[in-house]
Amino acid sequence: MGKFVITKRTNGEFQFNLKAGNGQTILTSEGYTTKAACLNGVESVKTNSQDDNRFDRRESSNGRPYFNLRASNGQIIGSSEMYESVSARENGIESVKKNALDSIIDDQE
């Protein structure tokens, strides 16, 4: 089972990482000014991750695939790591879809 790990950055902002059951981070959020906003971001991932159209498949300037998960308003909710291949990126997207819905929240702040 996956989990959303909430932490506080050195600048005081909150963020979450969605981790797969094996502990690998599969999605990282932006920084939020409040914990409540961060928790809303978690709920947004749970909702939006079930719609494949919300995944923005991209390629970095050095050619490495990655993705952003967007809310219905177009705002980026979370971003992936850089992958070595398009198929690895697709596996990452599937992992987010699978893990987000039932993930627990691990508040480490």
* Domain spans of the chain, in order of start: 3-107
Identify the pLDDT of residue 104.
85
Is the CATH number of domain 3-107 2.30.29.80?
A: yes
Condensed to tens digits (0 to 9), the pLDDT of residues 62-99 reads 999 999 999 999 999 999 999 999 999 999 999 999 99
69: closest CA among 22, 4, 23, 1?
Answer: 4
Dist. CA 49–CA 9, nearest whole Å? 24
15, pLDDT greater than 90: yes
What is the reported pTM?
0.90
Identify the pLDDT of residue 35.
95
Dist. CA 100–CA 51, nearest whole Å? 12
